[in-house]
Chains A and B, each alone.
Chain A
Amino acid sequence: MATCTVSGVRLAGIASAVPERARTLADEAPTFGKDEVAKIAENIGVKERPAAFDGMCTSDLCFAAAGRLLADLVWARDSVDALIFVSQTPDYRLPATSCTLQQRLRLSKRCAAFDIGLGCSGHVYALWIASSLIAAGGAKRALVLTGDTSTYFCSPRDRSVALLFGDAGTATAVEADPSAGPMHFVLGTDGAGRDNLIVPAGGFRRPHTPDTAARRAGDDGNSRSAEDLFMNGAEIFTFTLREVPPLINAVLQDANWTKEDVDAYVFHQANQFMLQHLAKRLKLPKEKFVLAMEEFGNTSSASIPLAMSARLAGPLGERPCRAVLAGFGVGYSWAAVALTCGPMVMPGVLRVSGSVVGAESPEHA
């Protein structure tokens, strides 16, 4: 596994945004039946999921979160040197969504901006890149924007995904600070798992056709198209059992922390059953293990910062906190960081109305 320690960089703040509209268990009951919905919800730990308004993109949610964060930080817009947008649901095939966000956020033309196409592991990957850029002197301040509108590619008739995924966008501010403690990163990849969490068609390997867009019932009784998200939950679960415990042990060892030294474990909010099993297997102190799925679902690369906004805004706003963040899933790709963060700016979770769609972009101005 790739390992790396970065010093002299701190997290300055995190803001998260979700659509104010949500899908509830009652919305899904007519499709799957009330008892089945209750059973699945109990297992995955999700009661409602924010769902994007028609036309709302991940960038709209990140735009709202970043605008609030920059205002609360009182950062001059031209002081941001780098913008990294992490998503699997960009605005366009091209240009990169980060370029449109540079303009919408009125950042300087001297700002470097680029996209990263990762999901579950994406937030920690982007923190690694942003902090490494800053440590190397390539930037002083960076914005990491992460999120997905996964509900767009979840078939409403596929019980393996329809009740699990929610939409969110987040903003994390990262800046140079010579007094900041080290961040210990461990990262890895196993592309052999690509078929277990995939939208198979609609890209260039298998372009869109009317056939790829047609939803059909499969052997498992679920109906989806080749342009919908497919998830093999059992394979993903065994992947996490294999990779996550060594990942966590590796960052703890690099940081020279015991399990008890850590104030908060924030894992990618994949599925509550799976998270609780991993916590038990790793013997992590229960009160330090953050769960934030009930009202958000699985929000892909937004889930770690969203969990921090929703569950840790108080403590992170007030004092230093030893945190282990870990993302793992689609790819397969995984990454963890052990870092001390806070006190930092924590505006919490913003609820965004449909009116923000495309706001302040040239074609809507």
Chain B
Amino acid sequence: MTKQEFLSLFEEILEAAPGTLKGDEPLPGMEGWDSLAVVSLIAMVDEQAGLTLSPKDIAKAASVADLISLLGDKIEA
């Protein structure tokens, strides 16, 4: 998965308009970022990258960039 693909799928989860995320947005207080979105993110990453993200790691993420870094080398450069 590329970073752009991740951002598009994450926009769908947040019900944000396509193309609005750049990747450096802070997570706390972000519109649509709630407990349902966390579960949807885990499902999306499981499906797209075959990786199960840890809820504890997700809770520590301060920004969208932090979430992307949790995917490690599953994000194509």
Contacts and interface: CB of A to CB of B under 8 A. Distances in A.
Interface stretch (B4-12, B16-24, B32-40, B63-71): B32-40
B55 A39 contact: no
Given A241-B52, A242-B52, A234 B43 contact: no
Given A232-B55, A242-B52, A237 B43 contact: yes
B36 A241 contact: no
B50 to A, nearest CB: 10
A277 B36 contact: no
Contacts of A93: none
B27 to A, nearest CB: 14
B46 interface: yes
B42 interface: yes
Contacts of A235: 55
B47 A234 contact: no
B23 to A, nearest CB: 22
Given A277-B47, A281-B47, A234 B39 contact: yes
A234 B46 contact: no
Question: Which among B35, B38, B40, B47 has the greatest number of chain A C-beta atoms within 10 A?
Answer: B35
Contacts of B55: 232, 234-235, 238
B38 to A, nearest CB: 5
Interface string B46-67: 1100001111001000000000
A39 B36 contact: yes
B52 A234 contact: no
B42 A160 contact: no
Nearest to B43: A277
A237 B39 contact: yes
A274 B53 CA distance: 15
A320 interface: no
Interface in A268-321: 273-274, 277, 280-281
Interface in A256-274: 273-274
Given A237-B39, A238-B55, A277-B43, 7 more contacts: A43-B36, A43-B40, A234-B55, A234-B58, A241-B46, A273-B39, A277-B47
Interface of A: 39-40, 43, 159-160, 220, 232-235, 237-238, 241-242, 273-274, 277, 280-281
Interface of B: 35-36, 38-40, 42-43, 46-47, 52-55, 58
6 nearest A-B pairs in the assembled complex, by CB-CB distance: A234-B55, A277-B43, A234-B38, A241-B52, A237-B39, A235-B55
